[in-house]
Amino acid sequence: MGMGMNLDNIRVVLVGPLYGGNVGSVCRAMANMGLTDLVLVQPRNLNMEEARMMACHATDILDERTELDSLAEAVADCRAVMGTTARMGLYRQHARTPRDWARKALRVAATGNVALVFGREDKGLDNEELSLCTQIIQIPTSDEYSSINLAQAVLICCYEIFVESETYEPPEEKSQEAPSFLREIMFGLWRQSLLDTGFMKLDKADHMMQGLRRILTRGKLTEDDVHILMGMARQASWAARGKAEAAEKAESD
């Protein structure tokens, strides 16, 4: 089973959430990252209309949520329980970042459930709740302000797991990287164009072209890129020559 399939075994647990808008936003964040299992522990009079609005197109996750009375019950069947904290201190010193724990989460999820546990918006998880956690997650933040919105914290943790799962496949360039002979034709055209437009003089041409080569070869140049740059060089040369011919004709007249 590929790691992408393991996302089904990752559960998001919200302990004592206060605001329906945050719960809805968590549903949206989960849907963005391919997670569907949401458990609420002792939710407190949530505004479900607000939750539904903020969930946007992820209302199915909201509707299929489980509500339980204790964190112990919510994680009873989980092989790994990863709790988040913004504070340091006793029992929190082995905290690591979401990225550090992402591979572990997926490895455990290959054979069983993993819980990502998030505490209350106002005071997080208490020590008793943290004692149920097998791993502690701390999201790196500025020292000036370490408190992160609940839904944003969920999104960051789920994002790291999603990326590590290799489910996402970045788009590939349709055009192949340009071969050397095509790049050399392009540089020849640009050399002539920069001379035609008066951007550089012949005695400085070699020096200037070295600079242009450095600029244009720092990144990947595809065949399509090179053809566009060649077209620009040809057009600039054509315009410069036309202007020069018009000026010569005007002088002879």
Instruction: Average the pLDDT over each of 136-145, 170-179, 220-229 and give the range with the smallest value.
Output: 170-179
Which H or E element spans position 83? Answer: strand 78-84
Size (the chain), residues: 253
For tokens 């041409």, what's the residue? 205
pLDDT tens for 69-105 read: 999 999 999 999 999 998 665 555 678 999 999 999 9
The CA-based diameter of the chain, rounded to the nearest angstrom, is 96
Q: What Rg value do the Cα atoms of the chain yield, rounded?
A: 29
- Return the pLDDT at 88: 63
Give per-residue pLDDT as tens, 8-34.
Answer: 999 999 999 999 999 999 999 999 999
Report how far residue 23's alpha carbon sits from residue 43's, in angstroms, rounded to the nearest whole number: 10
Helix axis angle, 150-164 to 20-32, nearest 10°? 10
Q: How many CA atoms lie within 13 A of 34 on its CB side?
A: 17
Asked whether the beta carbons of 114 and 10 are under 8 A apart, the reply is yes
Chain-centre distance of CA 41, in angstroms? 29
Amino acid at 45: N
In this predicted model, what pLDDT tens digit does every residue of 28-70 receive, in sequence order? 999 999 999 999 999 989 999 999 999 999 999 999 999 999 9
| pLDDT score at 1 | 40
